[in-house]
């Protein structure tokens, strides 16, 4: 039917709808209709760069849905800029492909000299950041194999690709990024200790285990905002497996308080009634259960009793 209509001189093949600004070509890549895309592009009066109300061109849609055939045809049409960012999110075609894990489309785009693999969006997230955050290992590996890739950029929240992957529990990607950092030590900026805190706070045991395998990781590094160590975050969120792993290390101080309220890991667990965490902490000989917090001067026993944690009170008496 589309081919029949395209043969008519009284049919405008590039006319958008009035609500969303979608042209006929803009709607085709989503359905992967390569034959129809080819027929549309044969018309000289079809603009492959025409964007909808979200500033998404037909090429953007083809990339987002992973239709490499349509991507190739659109790129072969003259006048298409593969490095243009949309106006809503500031994402390039490569960013869209990376975020959705479309490896074949990534390969097509990376073969071009006019594609910048490090271009960030409005949130300062690069294609590598988006791939790492969403767990697309193949895309991450593909990007890290390039000599012009930057794996140490931080986003608008001062987060690295490594911290994003660690927070989400993507163990294999964390390992890949650590290996890249070790091979590129002169240019790598990876806050290992603080990234470990992201993994500990979110209960990512596998990621914590990966970090602890690396000799240059300090498992007792506090974060810069609150001064909280990985052990502090694990204890505060009741991640007993991670607490156990960290307490087995000789380079972890179980008494380190945060800088915001002066509360140590044991204090946090006692206030919330986490008996399992408390039991593990009290097995350490270097734990002082009588240290008060610096904000109110309250002891562990006072806070545990005040919050009605009978089991914790019995353990402290």
For 114-166, how does the pLDDT look when each residue is reduced to its tens digit (9 = 90+)? 899 999 999 999 999 999 999 999 999 999 999 898 877 788 877 888 888 99
In a domain, 234, yes or no: yes
pLDDT digits (tens, 9 = 90+) for 205-219: 999 999 998 877 889
pTM: 0.78
User: Cα(160)–Cα(140) distance, rounded to whole angstroms?
Assistant: 14
Rounded Cα–Cα distance for residues 233 and 303 (Å)? 19
DSSP 301-315: HHHHHHTT-HHHHHH
CA-based nearest residue to 219, from 250, 190, 188, 189? 250
Determine, yes or no, domain membership for 291.
yes
User: Which DSSP state fits 167?
Assistant: H
Is position 155 within any domain? no
Asked whether residue 183 is domain-assigned, the answer is: no
- Given a contact cutoff of 8 angstroms between Cβ atoms, the answer to whether 53 and 26 are in contact is no
- Is residue 124 one of the residues assigned to a domain? no
What pLDDT score was predicted for residue 76?
Answer: 81
Nearest to 40 by CA among 79, 1, 92: 1
Considering the domain boundaries, does residue 249 fall inside one? Answer: yes
Contact 40, 25 (CB under 8 A): yes
The residue range of the domain holding 306 is 218-317
Give residue 37's pLDDT band: very low, low, confident or very high (50, 70, 90). low
User: Domains in the chain: how many in total?
Assistant: 1
Q: What does the DSSP 8-state code read for residue 9?
A: T
Give 248's contacts (C-beta < 8 A, 6+ positions apart).
none
Whether residue 309 lies inside any domain: the answer is yes
Return the CATH number at 299. 1.25.40.20
Tokens at 46, concatenated: 């079809």
**How many Cβ atoms from other residues are within 10 Å of residue 90's Cβ?**
16
Higher pLDDT pick, 78 / 93: 93
Q: How far is CA 289 from CA 236, 255, 266, in A?
A: 16, 9, 7
Domain membership of residue 154 (yes or no) is no
């Amino acid at each position: 039917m589309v081919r029949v209509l395209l043969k008519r001189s009284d049919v405008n093949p590039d006319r958008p709808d009035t609500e969303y600004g979608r042209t006929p070509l803009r709607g085709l890549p989503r359905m992967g209709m390569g034959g129809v895309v080819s027929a549309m592009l044969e018309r000289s009066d079809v603009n492959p760069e025409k964007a909808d109300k979200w500033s998404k061109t037909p090429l953007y849609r083809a990339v987002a849905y992973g239709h490499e055939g349509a991507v190739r045809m659109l790129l072969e049409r003259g006048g298409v800029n593969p490095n243009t960012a949309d106006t809503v999110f500031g994402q390039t075609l490569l960013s869209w492909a990376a975020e959705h894990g479309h490896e074949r489309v990534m390969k097509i785009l990376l073969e071009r000299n006019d594609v910048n693999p490090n271009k960030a969006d409005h949130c300062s997230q690069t294609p590598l950041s988006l791939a790492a955050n969403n767990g697309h290992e193949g895309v991450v590996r593909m990007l890290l194999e390039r000599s012009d890739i930057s794996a140490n950029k931080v986003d608008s929240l001062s987060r690295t690709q490594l911290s994003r992957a660690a927070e989400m529990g993507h163990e294999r990607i964390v390992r890949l990024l650590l290996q890249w950092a070790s091979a590129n030590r002169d240019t790598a900026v990876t806050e290992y200790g603080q990234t470990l805190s992201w993994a500990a706070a979110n209960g990512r045991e596998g990621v914590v285990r990966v970090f602890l395998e690396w000799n240059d990781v300090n498992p007792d590094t506090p974060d810069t905002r609150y001064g909280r160590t990985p052990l502090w975050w694990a204890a505060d969120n009741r991640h007993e497996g991670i607490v156990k792993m960290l307490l087995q290390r000789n380079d972890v101080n179980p008494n380190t308080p945060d800088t915001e309220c002066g509360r140590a890991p044991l204090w946090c667990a006692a206030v919330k009634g986490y008996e399992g965490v408390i039991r593990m902490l009290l097995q350490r000989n270097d734990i002082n259960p009588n240290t008060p917090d610096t904000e109110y001067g309250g002891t562990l026993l006072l806070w545990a009793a005040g919050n009605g944690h009978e089991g914790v009170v019995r353990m402290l008496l």
